[in-house]
Structure 1
């Protein structure tokens, strides 16, 4: 019986060998490394070339990397630049090179113009191009080769997300000694939609190279198992999929299970109680004219997020007099996203045109209906916005989880505020005390927004207290430890 992966990952931090010659017991693989290159000005200030990226995945896994003999494999963000392995913040990093053509075909093409819309219920039309698929395979092989060269015997490898779905099978062929986990951060579509993908069988086979395939929701895991049965004829028993070779012999058993991701609750809660951030929240309200109600939307500028539906509902509430611009303001943060992809450029034009129309119709000299912010902000500013907002609007048309909803709840340490949450997000499975809504139903969305605006204080406290308890008990550390423990258990069971 092999040593469980979770046992290896609890070792104390040790002196690391040079990354150029190191071998690792634990490896995380994602499209991007967990660091961003500093600007010239920032580098002069702090003397660092790199800084840790924001985001829940990095927050969850960075402590494991520091404690274990681990490394993170990914692209460093600049095309046509080759870097040697390096260390940053107690993490060893193994860069994978991508050319400008790779970025165009593998990332912008197959990952984000084929898989992303397909996996999000075809809200936008996916495109199927063989050149994109060929690039996707080549880049996935490059990632797999980087891992195979750096992984110690019997190492644990955790592959992240839809850009790298072929890596598990490639790794299993090259290194059958490895323990391989995969986590899909976005939804997995039902077989009826997945059937459109010309390379559906290869994707399923790629994922089944894993010992454990994790998803955000039980329905996503069920969709995957149904697809494995339908397109591969796989034998599926409960959550286990028997993987066979060309001779029909079982090579291993892959397990599919839901592991809903979460956030660094302590970090958000601590920031929400800092006096300077509380003061910043007060300043935000003051700058907006101290309206009675501030509504907030925070999204990447993506067609899956339901921003157009949210703006339409808000405009109609102003139009019919349910809300007045003197009393209510909507802050919409729309972080730039995939701006080289045509669908995203069109979406930005539509959103900005809609905001301009609403403000042109309802703004006064003193009041703005929609404060639109096409920027990314540091976490401190985001927490100040969460504190300033009376109502959080999460109206995604399809979302694997939506961590913004959880961040808003974590920031409301006083148990005030209201969360309007799309039932098509993974977060709706955990935050059942939110005001759940079908964002396609504009009349229903309008009435739910008004219910949130008028929610009695005692009901608000009851709902927020229950939601905060849920995420305090299931934070991002709980997510990562639960997945890795299940992976270790799967490997032990298969070896026994």
Structure 2
């Protein structure tokens, strides 16, 4: 098989679940998702992407996307259940997000997770050329870096965790904590969204593995130096700006406003349907503002877009049921004929429609209980070419470290969330322009290409890998 100097490994390939009749593949994009972010740097970069194609069964034969080769991995139904729905998303995901829901520890899931990680590692080891670079993505594949090191000690190995990395006291709960820690530390560089995560892994390496830590960013284990650091992920700012400037998108935004009844204020939230996103807390706050008469349906409307996620996992099905029940209650109690209090949409949107929604919203409400970064917040800022609009942003999203001029809020504090929503809705336009201008200026200098270059330059100090990225 052909080999590449750069191999990216992630749980999912960045493509639609089906291939078009002409044999072409298209990028699978979701709001703030990994595939959408990496699309900006890999669609014209010679590389190989190893990942699952999205359907249970044998690996499909997939064509390349431009210069990017696809190396699809197959998953059986049992593997998908144990590796993905089980250990990755019912054990690691809740624990890494402050145990918002209690993590489930199942010994059978671990064996499946380990076996699938081993298959991904072998595929990556076969795909990378001598002396090349493998860049492993996220919590689904935490064992892969060390497994690749055992198979291909000649290559550079990077690992980036897109979700939060928990404090030591939470990570210590994991029955397989040593294996997971050693797996991550098989990389030459372990990257995180926020600096605290790098401190957390250093503490664990010292406590559990007897490693030495020098400076703020280097762990020495078994005679090998592993660098760590924070590399806040970003978006393709130029792409979102170009979308927002398109005439058809601007016209669609105007049409959306009209369809909503031309309210004085539009509040928008765009989330994956996930319990970490704080959707229930947000609905409670908005419901109480309506109940208390501080917000009127006739001049304010909320649009909640919830993209379906992990629909076979019990906790996600239960969440959807609760949210739909709460939206129905709020609309039943506070809506009017032809004027619902909340427009609730459980569906994905294409990029142009998202850009139009972002331009429609007077207030973007991004209030996760815990989030590694949250790229939707950055997309909203990039779409606001006239520097209008307000961003209400959770302190517990990684984006809060950068977008300091947002209306920052603790989403667990429902009373505080209500007051922050009102402040954003009633803010002086000059104050909003100042805030948005500052955030937009930051994003221009910290886009997705800058993120990738910063990470890859730290991984490979020769600059060779970063030089291969598109400009």
Instruction: Look up the match of 2:456.
Output: 484
SS at match of 1:50: coil
After TM superposition, which residue ranges in structure 1, 4 or more long, deviate above 6 angstroms? none
Instruction: Look up the match of 2:298.
Output: 326
Deviations 1:439-471 (A, max 9, x none): 011110000000000010000000000000111
Instruction: Look up the match of 1:51.
Output: 26
Gaps of 5+ in 1: 1-20, 245-249
Q: 1:368 aligns with which of 333, 340, 343?
A: 340
SS at match of 1:291: coil
Instruction: Look up the match of 1:28.
Output: 8
Q: 1:267 aligns with which of 239, 254, 258?
A: 239
The alignment status of 1:105 with 2:85, answered yes or no, reads no
CA distance in structure 1 between the aligned counterparts of 2:43 and 2:271, rounded to whole angstroms:
31
CA distance in structure 2 between the aligned counterparts of 1:474 and 1:218, rounded to whole angstroms:
17
SS at match of 1:366: coil
Bigger drift between 218-227 and 450-459 goes to: 218-227
The alignment status of 1:335 with 2:307, answered yes or no, reads yes
CA distance in structure 2 between the aligned counterparts of 1:66 and 1:112, rounded to whole angstroms:
28
The alignment status of 1:468 with 2:440, answered yes or no, reads yes
Instruction: Look up the match of 1:201.
Output: 178
Instruction: Look up the match of 1:397.
Output: 369
CA distance in structure 2 between the aligned counterparts of 1:378 and 1:86, rounded to whole angstroms:
22
Deviation, structure 1 residue 418: 0.3
CA distance in structure 2 between the aligned counterparts of 1:132 and 1:219, rounded to whole angstroms:
29
Bigger drift between 66-75 and 109-118 goes to: 66-75
Instruction: Look up the match of 2:141.
Output: 164
- Residue 41 of structure 2 contacts residue 449 of structure 2 at CA under 8 Å; is this kept in 1? no
SS at match of 1:198: coil
The alignment status of 1:242 with 2:220, answered yes or no, reads yes
Q: 1:95 aligns with which of 64, 72, 80?
A: 72
Distance 1:68 1:327, change over 3 A: closer
The alignment status of 1:305 with 2:273, answered yes or no, reads no
CA distance in structure 2 between the aligned counterparts of 1:283 and 1:64, rounded to whole angstroms:
33
CA distance in structure 1 between the aligned counterparts of 2:415 and 2:266, rounded to whole angstroms:
20
- In the TM superposition, 1:72-91 aligns within 5 A as 72-84=49-61, 86-91=63-68
Distance 1:334 1:68, change over 3 A: closer
Q: 2:198 aligns with which of 221, 234, 242?
A: 221
Deviation, structure 1 residue 69: 4.3
Deviation, structure 1 residue 435: 0.4
Instruction: Look up the match of 1:450.
Output: 422
The alignment status of 1:257 with 2:237, answered yes or no, reads no
Bigger drift between 91-100 and 64-73 goes to: 64-73
- TM-score normalized by the length of structure 1: 0.90
CA distance in structure 2 between the aligned counterparts of 1:23 and 1:447, rounded to whole angstroms:
56
Deviation, structure 1 residue 208: 0.6
SS at match of 1:52: coil
Instruction: Look up the match of 2:468.
Output: none
SS at match of 2:89: helix
Deviation, structure 1 residue 50: 2.3
- In the TM superposition, 1:100-139 aligns within 5 A as 100-139=77-116
SS at match of 1:384: helix
SS at match of 1:104: helix
Instruction: Look up the match of 2:412.
Output: 440
Instruction: Look up the match of 1:10.
Output: none
CA distance in structure 1 between the aligned counterparts of 2:34 and 2:267, rounded to whole angstroms:
27
Gaps of 5+ in 2: 465-471
SS at match of 1:118: helix
- Residue 86 of structure 1 contacts residue 94 of structure 1 at CA under 8 Å; is this kept in 2? no
Deviation, structure 1 residue 233: 1.9
CA RMSD of aligned residues (A): 1.6
- TM-score normalized by the length of structure 2: 0.95
- Residue 35 of structure 1 contacts residue 50 of structure 1 at CA under 8 Å; is this kept in 2? yes
CA distance in structure 1 between the aligned counterparts of 2:40 and 2:412, rounded to whole angstroms:
40
- Residue 288 of structure 1 contacts residue 368 of structure 1 at CA under 8 Å; is this kept in 2? no
- Residue 38 of structure 1 contacts residue 49 of structure 1 at CA under 8 Å; is this kept in 2? no
